[in-house]
Structure 1
């Protein structure tokens, strides 16, 4: 009987200690506050401050602009979460980071989902159907701001490049206007090798090949053949006949 009670008591003690430890660990994590993954949402605080203004109340255009600015910050955080979550998950599986950072990211993701729904509801309150396109508008405005910032930094980047590599001349593009129709330049351009003009052939020359040769060509060819026959030593001499 004692041999049976000893293993049973051992199993009860082991599982009881594991259950007590797991319950204590869960309670400790529940009371533990994780460090926020993102900083404080300043644009959301500004929007709520404008909503609470009563004397005088904030104009609707200002409220819409503040809401769009709030949506732009949300889009930035969405893009960052999409980039960071796979990398952090891979590092967590390898044991390179702790659970605190991963839990902070999950908490930020849930908070951002609630923020997106709230922004869409606020947008629909101003204009019906605006909640479906407000984040698209915020994305376009964010890209425009990045492009404008880059354009504004071009003089600074150029000055740094000149200090580092020296001044270098910028290539100048020379744009020539096309010649006016009827001018000598346009006529010369029309006869250029890139656009050669095809000579027109008369209709008579197409139908009769003999008319292509000049009138004296036949006589010259006859005279040339006669002189060659007279100069050849093997050609027999024909007696000359006098025509009376």
Structure 2
């Protein structure tokens, strides 16, 4: 009989101690205050203070501005919860954080839902239907403040950059200016005509010593640019000068061009 009572007494002591410890731990957790996830809502307190003033009463435009500022803070907290909640859930599943942090996040989310409903109701008291668009207005104002903050930082960042890289940038600009090639003036591409020397057979003298008119049958066979000219009975074809071709050929054969042209013309006259 004694051998049976000893194990039963042992089990009773173990389970009794566990039951007492669990009850004490639960009471301690219940009495412990959960640390809030967000700090105190100052904009809400300011709006309630302004709303409660009666002597003198707060102007309506000031109350609207305070309500919009309160909605802007609510929008910031909504975005913060959307970003933090998935990460906290993953960390809680891995055991990296305790339950108290996630519990505070859940409590803040519920409080924020009630805050949104209250702000929408307060907005409808000023203008009917304003509660549906007040958070959109608050979101646009938040974006505007972010952009303005970035633009205000531009002069400061510019000064810091100039202090850090100003000397190097000026030296580099001077070196680039020195290495830049000189501007070459634009030259005219219009070719200049070349006056060819007259050959002995190009003009014949008359018996009295005066120059005779050129023979159209012989001398007019070739023009100055090597083109054939029509017969006297037909209307005279206008001469087309090609100074560009002459210039190019003279540049290619600078020494023998005039002599070659004269010899060809004299041969043609002899054949006729």
TM-score by length of 2: 0.56
User: How many matched pairs?
Assistant: 171
Shift of 1:13: 6.8
Look up the match of 1:113.
Answer: 113
Name the SS of the counterpart of 1:54 in structure 2.
coil
What whole-Å deviation, never above 9, does each CA across 1:51-103 have from its counterpart, x for those lacking one? 11111100111101100000000000110111111111111222221222112
DSSP-derived class of the 1:166 partner: helix
Matches within 5 A, 1:34-73: 34-73=34-73
Cα drift, residue 37 of structure 1: 1.2
Indicate yes or no: 2:131 matched with 1:156: no
* Larger mean Cα displacement after TM superposition, 105-114 or 5-14: 5-14
Aligned to 1:28: 28
| Aligned CA distance change for structure 1 residues 164 and 53 (closer, same or farther; 3 Å) | same
2:147 paired residue number:
147
Structure 2 CA distance for partners of 1:22 and 1:120, relative to 1, 3 Å: farther
Map of 1:222-241 to 2, 5 A cutoff? none
- Do the aligned partners of residues 144 and 90 (structure 1) sit closer, same or farther apart at CA in structure 2, a change above 3 Å counting? same
Q: 1:17 to 1:116 in 2, by over 3 A?
A: farther
Q: Tell me the equivalent position of 1:92.
A: 92
Higher CA-based Rg: 2
Distance in 1 (alpha carbons) for counterparts of 2:150 and 2:130: 30
TM-score, reference length from structure 1: 0.61
In structure 2, what is the equivalent of residue 138 of structure 1? 138
Instruction: Trace 1:78-227 onto structure 2 (pairs within 5 A).
Output: 78-166=78-166
Q: Choose 23-32 or 120-129, whichever is displaced more.
A: 23-32
**Distance of 2:120 and 2:11 partners within structure 1:** 55
The 2-side partners of 1:80 and 1:55 are apart by 38
Q: Deviations over 1:156-200 (max 9, x none)?
A: 11111111221658xxxxxxxxxxxxxxxxxxxxxxxxxxxxxxx
Cα distance in 1 for residues equivalent to 2:3 and 2:116: 63
- 1:21 Cα deviation (Å)? 4.0
RMSD: 2.7
Partner of 2:194: none
